[in-house]
Chains A and B, each alone.
Chain A
Amino acid sequence: MKDLQLTCLREDEKATLRLRALLARYGYRPYRMSKFEEYDLYVRNKSFLLSDHIITFTDTDGKLMALKPDVTLSIVKNSKESEGGLEKVFYNENVYRVSRGGEAFREIMQVGAECIGEIDEYCLCEVLLLAAKSMETLSDSFVLDLSHMGLLTAVLDGLGLTDAARAELLGCIGDKNLHTAREICRREGVSPEGEAALELLITSYGEPSRVLPLLRKGLPKASCGALLDQLERILAAVAPSIPEGRLHVDFSVIHDRRYYNGLVFKGFIEGIPTGILSGGQYDALMQRMGKRAGGVGFAVYLDLLEELSSPRAEYDADAVLLYGEEDDAARVSAAVERLSADGKSVCAQKSLQSGYRCRELWRLQGEEVILLEADA
């Protein structure tokens, strides 16, 4: 019976169960929240959201409310300040937003973990490891890309650019657009050393063992040395627990630096065209929201699992049992129990619904069930 229940679950429902079990195993507490939040929270942090379209309504007390487009902001808002403490929570919630490239609101199931408080290097390692393990629960063929906003900022700071040129170059790094980055460097008079460092961030990606030595050699030691040390320590700590070749360094993962300040990461699954997991260290968001603590976390967008091409169900039920007006409920019920005893799904109907597909068609006749048709 248990197996039957599991096979009935959708991929996103199975994934939710696995992710909840994983996060609970590391001491993360479930966090349940209301579907609504005051709109004001999102207005003040609009650029933190993936989409600025929000469903709003006026509550009975006249307050403008929103259907949650994001969960992290609510968790951060409600986090308690405690000396040296850590709050580790996980959630699975529906959020409501317009997905990228979409034209209508969608309800999106999201599972995530947040670690808030005095964030040390172990916390960063743990959340990164949980992100990798979360990917592993979803697919064997995944890549978790790791980037560092601090390192990107350090390199860009060294170029002495205007905010506009900086934003353009950050976009080029995100798009792996080397040709435009070179044009901007020429236009802005960036030094050859600065241009070389930038090129390195765009062209160096892949397994840490190959990329880190290149970064060590090519990035300025004074501004990037300590950050590279941190990146190397974190990678060394988590690598033994992550399948080989799945963790990559890739600076095209860029989150808004007004909110994210350190490690940032994104997870991809073969066959799904966009990142399914996104996360990072958001101490800057905490500060913007008046909190003294730091934060790191991630979210998995489970709606994307639909993209994996699992075969469509051939049948609506294994068997349909047809019964008539003269059959009493107890007889129909007993026949359904008999047919489903070996694990088959059985749908009792008076006449076969148009478009309904079943492997076997049975009819109740007196006490007996008679097989009318069966697919080979």
Chain B
Amino acid sequence: MKQMLNIALPKGRLGEKVYAMFEKAGFPCPSIKENNRKLIFENEEVGVRYFWVKPSDVAIYVERGAADIGVAGKDILLEYEPDVYELLDLHVGVCRMAVAAREGFRDDGARTLKVATKFSRIAKAHYAARGRDIDVIHLNGSIELAPILGLSDVIVDIVETGTTLKENHLAVVETVLPISARLIANKSGFKFKSERIEEIVRGLAMQTEEQA
């Protein structure tokens, strides 16, 4: 029997896209497509065990060794700084982390900038690099509401199409960094399953190169 590899995938559309890449790379698990309430899907023949987890939890599963590898957004990796290997940029789930504010907002630099965000560490690092004094307001959702109600001057958040911002009369002020999904690996697991993980990396890299 093949050495089993535990793979954490992010729930949702991104996860489905990523699973298709794993399947194409030669690591299929047909049961994952069945419509049921199972949490873990196994293909013993190929030696893979997939499980869906909340996207922001993938890095924790991998860092703590419950998963050998997983797929997490670069935003999560920068925000939580898990101690994992970042083996590949999958070039899917592409978006950007941006600063946005009410249309027409201008930061004159005369007072502390109030920044609402889910990504406190990224926001702090962004403004620290330019020596700007900020007051971080950590929120867990509906970030766009903060500048509209005067809770904050700006927000730091993920922007995909920009439609939500536009509909709420907000606009991107600047891009903080580009985001995409990354293949990550547990550092210890990698030592003992490196050949299998490298096989997956090669299979996925061929697809990302085609895309590029």
Contact = CB atoms under 8 A, between A and B. Distances in A.
Closest 8 CB pairs of A and B: A273-B65, A177-B86, A143-B191, A176-B85, A179-B89, A268-B188, A175-B86, A270-B192
Interface string A112-146: 00000000000000000000000000000101010
A175 B85 contact: yes
Residue of A177, A206, A248 with most partner-chain B CB within 10 A: A177
A63 to B, nearest CB: 34
Given A177-B86, A179-B88, A268-B187, A143 B65 contact: no
A252 interface: yes
A312 B95 CA distance: 46
A101 B192 CA distance: 23
Interface of A: 100-101, 141, 143, 145, 175-177, 179-180, 205-206, 248, 252, 268-275, 307
Given A101-B82, A270-B192, A275 B89 contact: no
Contact of B194 (A101, A175, A206): A206
Contact of B188 (A101, A180, A272): A272
B87 interface: yes
Contact of A145 (B65, B86, B191, B192): B191
A269 B84 contact: no
Interface of B: 60, 63-65, 82-89, 185-189, 191-192, 194
A273 B85 contact: no
B15 to A, nearest CB: 21
Contacts of B84: 175
Contacts of A275: 187-188
Contacts of A176: 85-87, 185
B85 A141 contact: no
Given A100-B83, A143-B192, A268-B191, A273 B64 contact: yes
A273 B86 contact: no
Contacts of A141: 192
28 contacts: A100-B83, A101-B60, A101-B63, A101-B64, A101-B83, A143-B191, A143-B192, A145-B191, A175-B84, A175-B86, A176-B85, A177-B85, A177-B86, A177-B87, A179-B89, A205-B194, A252-B85, A252-B187, A269-B188, A272-B188, A273-B63, A273-B64, A273-B187, A273-B189, A274-B83, A274-B187, A275-B188, A307-B65
Contacts of A175: 84-86
Nearest to B87: A176
Contacts of B64: 101, 273
Nearest to B208: A179
Given A270-B191, A274-B83, 10 more contacts: A141-B192, A143-B191, A175-B85, A175-B86, A176-B185, A177-B86, A205-B194, A268-B188, A271-B65, A272-B188
